[in-house]
Structure 1
Amino acid sequence: MSPRRLACLLLAASAGSPGLGNAAPPRDELVASGLQVPTAFAILPDGRIAVAEHAGLVVALREGVAAPELLVDLRARVNNSRERGLVGLAADPGFARNRALYVLYAYEDDPARPHAPKTVRLSRIDVRSGRERVVLSGIPADCRCHIGGSIRFATDGSLFVSTGDGARAGGANALALRAQDLDSPAGKLLRVSREGRGLRDNPFWNGDPWATRSKVWALGLRNPFRLALHPRSGVPWVGDVGWRAWEEIDVAGRGANLGWPCYEGAGRQGAYASTPTCQALYRQRGEHRGPLLSYRHGPRASVTGGDFARDGAYVYGDFTRGGLRLLGAPSRELAPAAAPVDIQFAPDGSLLYLSLTRGELRRIVAPASRPTVTAAAHPAVGALVLLSSSAPAEGGPYLYSWSFGDGAHSFSTEPSPPHAYAFAGTYVATVTVTDRRGRSARSSATVTVE
């Protein structure tokens, strides 16, 4: 019998994930339907998806289960008039333990006068007891529009909350200038603790954690309906709905003045340019931070700020025009989504969005790309050959099927199975990788054992 010949073999396999750069068009799949004017959603640790409905309900969806589970009923407290309603939702990072949700909604203080000026509040809800603890209150909502509506937790546990200027859209009015006033919560990006306190490292901290300016992270926003935090820098990116001219995606760094109502897009807004507030801002060169992306409002548009994929790609939408787009030069359409009102990436890398007009939660899934395999053979010490492979975590779990070319096979979820080649020769090692939706890809490498 020939002496045993061994090799140390390294096979590196990468399986396609729901990436956004693939040439093939992605699939737009229905996850759940029958929702009543859904406005926001939050992915819970157990895989359920909590969905906020405009009138004040929060329900939980589980894929494969037809009937949603009622989590929260705020209808008696929500002013559900035009854009005012339950508009923001986030799960506490400790939800698995404390069952706490954070909600942002227009508060109904007088049901007999639903069209009167109202205020917006941020509340913490214990899903088990239904108990509400108000975290922020008194955010102006004089108009039945422009109330903002996004809540996001940062990695340090702080809360970012976007607020609108609460001013009428029909014409220029003084209420929009609140967006430039540090002592008004309107038209701001706020950063607070879970209890609603301003934080010492906020840019306008004045020593009082309950002072409005101590809670301000960025100012000069009109209707910052959705925001996301950059996965590496943690800096908020905000979709700010425009007035007459421009829709914006803004990078809201610490202390940023994003310009509204003195600026719209990169240029000055003529309807407010002569006001003392705007004249003062114009004199402060470099104070205004222009948008990362702006596009023309006319004839109709309403930007929906989006979310980041793990590789940093940013997807946003437009509620009025429809569609989801990948930010780039130029931006390109991913899917013709109808009225996307909230856009988030799921832990598995797929892209979820709510369609308000259709009452649906939907998922965008890009086709899997083919795996690649490279191999290198070296003299071995010992009896086993090491085989290793890797696949993106967001596409898993994977099944790895190895055919080593010597009649031996391996089937497992283990990406690095051991194997021994007993004889010298040339072998073709093949790996087939299958993801959880049954999509598979295969590639081979020639291995020489000496």
Structure 2
Amino acid sequence: MRSRRSMAAATAVLTDTPTGQTAGELTDVAYLPDGSALTTGRQGSVRWTPKSGGQSTEIASIPVYTGGSLGLTSIAVAPDYATSRTIYTARALSTGGGERAFRVSKWQAEGTGAPTGLTGEKPVLQIPVNSDNRGIQDLAVDPSGADLWVAVGDNAADQAPETATKDTVDKFALRALDPGQPTGKILRVNTNGVGVSNNPFYDKFAPDSWRSRTYLSGLRDPRLTLDQRGGIVVTDNGWAARNEVNIALPGQNLKWPCWEGNGKTPGYRDLAECGGVLNTAPLTETARQANSGLLGGVFYAGQSYPESYRARHFVADKGAGTLSTLSFDSTGRMVDQPAALASGIGTPAAIATAPNGDIVVADASTSALRRLSYRPANKAPTASFDVTVEPVTRRVWFDASTSTDPDFDNLDYEWDFGDGGAGTGGVLFHVYDPAAEKGDRHPDREGQPRGDDDHDPVRHPRSHRSHRSGGHDVRTGSGHALPRERADHTDGGGHRSRRRAAHRELNRGEGGLPESGQLHDQRAAHRFGAELLAALPGGQRQQGRHHRVRDQQPRCRGQSAVRRPATAGQGLDRRVA
């Protein structure tokens, strides 16, 4: 079941779709052409979640090695999946004799519609493991389907930067600087695992060498995103102080471990190997906090988001639990630095683009897919009702079927009859006690009898055989009043009608009720205190419970009012700037 969580801006909604992965284990997501999703769990689980967000199914449990942070880390879908049924995975596995390796594999999805399994594994790449940290971190398939992009971490042992010296740092990290080594790189290979012929270091005599496969060097903990306009955005998580966002240029070296962002790194900076290494400045950098790390760089090309978020890149910080946007121009110059769009989004493990362009965050803490959607501003419905009286039985029928909603949402109805009675439904009746008629007092003037010259607090037509009231004044969950609209209840002269004629009509019948089968104007409905509350378009729920928005303004009886779903998110740390 999907759980929908609204955000502080009225039209922004995070929709949570459970994946079935164990909480804390979700590592990646990839969408199939039909809008369903494949997700990976660190322990080797591959699950399919239908587009509707219904029950997920495990389609494979792949053997993995899960020491440290390793395991099944990434999944990618071939562009021609509809016909080829091809997907790719990246994982760590045991190879026997205590040895371990990082492997990219090609698989075929079983079944003809929804995938039911994975079969026919074909290894594409395999890299020996040095330590239980930062292996193959990300995987993407080129839109042509011919090439794979593989983000490989430095695979060095961890150490606290505060105590690092040139004698204690793991020099294995220096391999990130060498195009002839596989770690700390963005690799580009064809689907058979050999280097692409226009790679910057390609050697036609050794197409399967690491040098031939290397596209970008000098990385620690990279993630990559293919910009649909062309180009590759790479985020790299630092060690001591800074995280980076980069545009990948062929053959470029970003100089980890000697540099991190625009600063030199503890311990490594004192090594002879880093002595003459000049920095390559990142596109931008952010301060690194405890357990933080940037990922994503997904470009939004849809049309449903506000203009200010279009043609921007989205990045998430898995430690801070934030989703931010940034932009740069065609020359690679920053236009807008990363700015937080939402916070409290969990522990992002990956960012993807849904088939309609919406940004989706894979939250490892809940193992849910959190989809950011923007909907057109929710317009308030117009409450309207007809009233019919049965004088003998004192039964008053109320029919709200003429209420309308400009968004064509389904409406629920609540009634306050003004005498302590209440009801629900579009059509219903209420029987009034005769005692309610004695004294003919204005319901909003304590102790003051109603006179013939008193004015109604709402406008209404004279001598109208049925009652129809319109108008609303509601507030969103954030307290902003929506525009007030009222039907024209004035008489032909532009003055408020008096209750004189209706008053005489009511007093002719038993107990003051009119003898006619219908009310002559709003007066009787007003006097009986019938109050229509057209409420809550169906389906707007949070955690399975309706959240109603109550009008904060005083409302006289007989005036129709509208309730719309509350903009949830109050009390939730999910904010939209």
- Please list, as runs of the form range in 1=range in 2, the aligned pairs for 1:166-181 lying within 5 A after superposition: 166-170=155-159, 171=164, 172-181=169-178
Mapped contact 2:21–2:47 kept (Cα < 8 A) = no
Q: Does 1:127 align with 2:91?
A: no
CA drift of 1:329 comes to 3.4
CA drift of 1:335 comes to 4.1
CA drift of 1:185 comes to 0.4
CA drift of 1:369 comes to 6.2
Please list every run of 5 or more consecutive structure 2 residues that lacks an aligned counterpart in the other structure.
Answer: 1-7, 111-117, 302-309, 327-335, 379-406, 409-538, 541-577
What's 2:85 paired with?
99
- AA at the equivalent of 2:180: D
Q: Secondary structure at the match of 1:277?
A: helix
Per-residue CA distance 1:41-83 (angstroms, 9 max, x = gap) = 1110122101011111211100335322333321x3x101231
Per-residue CA distance 1:303-336 (angstroms, 9 max, x = gap) = 2233110143111111112111112335122342
- AA at the equivalent of 1:124: K
What's 1:304 paired with?
295
- AA at the equivalent of 1:289: T
What's 1:26 paired with?
12
**What TM-score, normalized to structure 1?**
0.71
| Higher alpha-carbon deviation: 260-269 or 301-310 | 301-310
Q: Does 1:338 align with 2:346?
A: yes
Say which of 190, 193, 211 aligns to 1:193.
Answer: 190
Per-residue CA distance 1:245-300 (angstroms, 9 max, x = gap) = 11111211111111100110112224212333322423xxxxx4321221111344
What's 1:150 paired with?
138
Larger % of strand: which? 1
The 2-side partners of 1:89 and 1:300 are apart by 23
The 1-side partners of 2:252 and 2:12 are apart by 36
- Name the larger-Rg structure: 2
Mapped contact 1:26–1:335 kept (Cα < 8 A) = no
The 2-side partners of 1:193 and 1:303 are apart by 27
- AA at the equivalent of 1:235: G
CA drift of 1:206 comes to 1.8
The 1-side partners of 2:343 and 2:376 are apart by 17
1:331 and 1:26, CA in 2 relative to 1: closer, same or farther beyond 3 A?
A: same
The 2-side partners of 1:141 and 1:25 are apart by 47
Q: Does 1:293 align with 2:284?
A: yes
Per-residue CA distance 1:70-101 (angstroms, 9 max, x = gap) = 33321x3x101231000011011121112111
What's 2:100 paired with?
118
1:339 and 1:178, CA in 2 relative to 1: closer, same or farther beyond 3 A?
A: same
- Please list, as runs of the form range in 1=range in 2, the aligned pairs for 1:300-379 lying within 5 A after superposition: 300-310=291-301, 311-327=310-326, 328-329=336-337, 331-368=339-376
Mapped contact 1:240–1:305 kept (Cα < 8 A) = no
The 1-side partners of 2:41 and 2:95 are apart by 20
Mapped contact 1:164–1:221 kept (Cα < 8 A) = yes
- AA at the equivalent of 1:120: F
- Aligned-residue sequence identity (percent) comes to 28
CA drift of 1:33 comes to 4.6
- Please list, as runs of the form range in 1=range in 2, the aligned pairs for 1:230-249 lying within 5 A after superposition: 230-232=227-229, 234-249=230-245
1:196 and 1:297, CA in 2 relative to 1: closer, same or farther beyond 3 A?
A: same
Q: Secondary structure at the match of 1:179?
A: helix
Say which of 160, 164, 168 aligns to 2:153.
Answer: 164
Mapped contact 1:26–1:334 kept (Cα < 8 A) = no
Q: Secondary structure at the match of 2:126?
A: strand
The 2-side partners of 1:72 and 1:296 are apart by 39
The 2-side partners of 1:24 and 1:253 are apart by 40
Mapped contact 1:159–1:194 kept (Cα < 8 A) = yes
Please list every run of 5 or more consecutive structure 1 residues that lacks an aligned counterpart in the other structure.
Answer: 1-21, 283-287, 371-397, 400-436, 439-450
Q: Secondary structure at the match of 1:131?
A: strand
Q: Does 1:260 align with 2:251?
A: no
- AA at the equivalent of 2:173: A
Mapped contact 2:235–2:297 kept (Cα < 8 A) = yes
Mapped contact 1:25–1:334 kept (Cα < 8 A) = no
What's 1:51 paired with?
39
Q: Secondary structure at the match of 2:324?
A: strand
What's 2:75 paired with?
89
Q: 1 or 2 for the larger relative contact order (CA 8 Å, sep ≥6)?
A: 1
Mapped contact 1:231–1:312 kept (Cα < 8 A) = no
The 1-side partners of 2:140 and 2:253 are apart by 20
Mapped contact 2:243–2:287 kept (Cα < 8 A) = yes
Per-residue CA distance 1:209-251 (angstroms, 9 max, x = gap) = 1011000000000011x2111222x221112111011111121
May I ask how many residue pairs the two structures share in their alignment? 340
Runs of 4+ in 1 over 6 A off after TM superposition: none
Mapped contact 1:339–1:356 kept (Cα < 8 A) = yes
Mapped contact 1:72–1:127 kept (Cα < 8 A) = no
Per-residue CA distance 1:183-209 (angstroms, 9 max, x = gap) = 210000001101111011100112221
Q: Secondary structure at the match of 2:362?
A: strand
Per-residue CA distance 1:369-423 (angstroms, 9 max, x = gap) = 69xxxxxxxxxxxxxxxxxxxxxxxxxxx99xxxxxxxxxxxxxxxxxxxxxxxx
What's 1:3 paired with?
none
**What TM-score, normalized to structure 2?**
0.56
Mapped contact 2:17–2:368 kept (Cα < 8 A) = yes
Per-residue CA distance 1:82-140 (angstroms, 9 max, x = gap) = 31000011011121112111000011224x95xxx6321111011226111000002x4
